[in-house]
């Protein structure tokens, strides 16, 4: 039997090809919708682990994705997503860029590309592991392969990175919890602590204008990783919006504390990513059903 991670990669590529082929036949949506793209690490990795997904897009592929989207889509910052959903229909697909976990390569590799194309992005960090010298404990791929790759592939952000980001007009810094706990294995009190503590730490270090957005670790409502208790904790902690990993485009009917996103894959060509931005997601929904509660991030 083929390893699960390898099967997923093949299916993601097939789903992307079907999505791109279907895109020309999709009718324009009369209501504005936003494709909130989700990235993790941006790094060069020269091997494939058949057991673990690296959640990685190469720098060259990332640059080609952003360059293509700059021509075919409208970039909006996370702070403008809700406002954009209540405005008139867009001439182009609307895209918001987000990055989970808080890897240093957001600053070393992704941000120069974003600056080149004036593309805003939100970075969600796990506060307990900022300034850490080891792979973050929940990063199973980084822990397994730290000796095989450059440290930048797994290294967490530093407070110096975040202070630099806080001064950039392109960067929104949000919370991705304090310890990256899974809601399926946590009490309501644990979840409240995750939401409150991460926000408090970020605001103390970066100022009160930050940490108004939250991204749930793991993030699936279907799998119980974004539970009602977690949503209530985030709302009570003073955040304005929160993001899940549920597949879909955000619309005016979306719950602002459980906005859906679309994962950007290493296999996504510019054409495939454009199809995702337009909302051609039916093939990807079939692959999404393979997700299990033990996914690495």
Q: For residue range 85-105, what is the model confidence (pLDDT) as tens digits? A: 988 766 899 999 999 999 999
- For residues 150 and 194, what is the distance between their CA atoms, to the nearest angstrom? 30
Of 234 and 9, more confident: 234
Task: pLDDT band for 173, please (50, 70, 90 cuts).
Answer: very high
> Using one digit for the tens of pLDDT, what is the confidence trace for 262-291?
999 998 999 899 999 998 887 667 666 666
* pLDDT at residue number 124: 98
Q: What mean pLDDT value characterizes the chain?
A: 89
* pLDDT at residue number 26: 58
- Six-digit token string for 163: 């202070």
CATH topology classification for 4-288? TIM Barrel (3.20.20)
34 three-state secondary structure? strand
- The answer to whether 279 touches 90, Cβ cutoff 8 Å, is no
* pLDDT at residue number 2: 47
Residue 25 clears pLDDT 50, i.e. is over it = no
Centroid of chain to Cα 214 = 11
Among the listed residues 36, 41, 116, 109, the one whose alpha carbon sits nearest the alpha carbon of residue 77: 36
The reported pTM is 0.89
- Six-digit token string for 247: 């597949």
Flag the least confident range among 43-52, 58-67, 231-240: 43-52
Q: What value, to the nearest 5°, has the Cα angle with vertex 256 and ends 209 and 138?
A: 75
- Over pLDDT 90: what percentage of the chain? 76
In degrees and rounded to multiples of 5, residue 157 shows phi and psi of: -65, 160
Q: Where do the domains of the chain lie?
A: 4-288
In sign, the C-alpha dihedral spanning 160, 166, 171, 175 is positive
- Six-digit token string for 143: 């822990």
> Using one digit for the tens of pLDDT, what is the confidence trace for 111-135?
999 999 999 999 999 999 999 999 9
35 three-state secondary structure? strand
> Using one digit for the tens of pLDDT, what is the confidence trace for 190-231?
999 999 999 999 999 999 889 999 999 999 999 999 999 999
> Using one digit for the tens of pLDDT, what is the confidence trace for 231-265?
999 999 999 999 999 999 999 999 999 999 999 99
- For residues 107 and 104, what is the distance between their CA atoms, to the nearest angstrom? 6
């Amino acid at each position: 039997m083929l390893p699960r991670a390898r099967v997923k990669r093949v299916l993601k590529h097939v789903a992307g090809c079907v999505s791109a082929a279907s895109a020309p036949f999709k009718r324009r949506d009369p209501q504005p919708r936003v494709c909130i793209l989700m990235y993790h690490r941006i790094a060069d990795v020269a091997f494939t682990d058949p057991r673990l997904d690296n959640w990685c897009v190469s720098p060259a592929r990332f640059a080609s994705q952003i360059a293509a989207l700059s021509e075919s889509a409208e970039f909006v910052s996370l702070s403008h997503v809700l406002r954009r959903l209540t405005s008139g229909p867009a001439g182009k697909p609307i895209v918001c860029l987000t990055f989970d976990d808080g890897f240093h390569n957001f600053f070393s590799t992704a941000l120069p590309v974003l600056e080149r194309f004036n593309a805003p992005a939100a970075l969600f960090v796990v506060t307990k592991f900022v300034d850490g010298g080891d792979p973050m404990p929940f990063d199973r791929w980084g822990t397994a392969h730290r000796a095989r790759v450059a440290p930048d592939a797994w290294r967490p952000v530093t407070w110096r990175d975040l202070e630099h980001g806080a001064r950039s007009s392109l960067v929104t810094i949000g919370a991705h919890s304090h310890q990256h706990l899974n809601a399926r294995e946590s009490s309501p009190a644990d979840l409240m602590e995750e939401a409150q503590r991460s926000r408090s730490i970020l605001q103390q270090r970066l100022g009160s204008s930050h940490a108004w957005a939250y991204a749930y670790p793991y993030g699936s409502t279907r799998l119980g990783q974004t539970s009602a208790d977690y949503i209530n904790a985030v709302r009570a902690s003073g955040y304005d919006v929160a993001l899940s990993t549920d597949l879909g485009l955000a619309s005016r009917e979306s719950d602002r504390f459980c906005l859906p996103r679309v994962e950007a894959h290493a296999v996504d060509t510019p054409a495939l990513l454009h199809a995702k931005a337009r909302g051609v997601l039916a093939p990807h929904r079939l692959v999404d059903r393979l997700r299990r509660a033990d996914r690495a991030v």
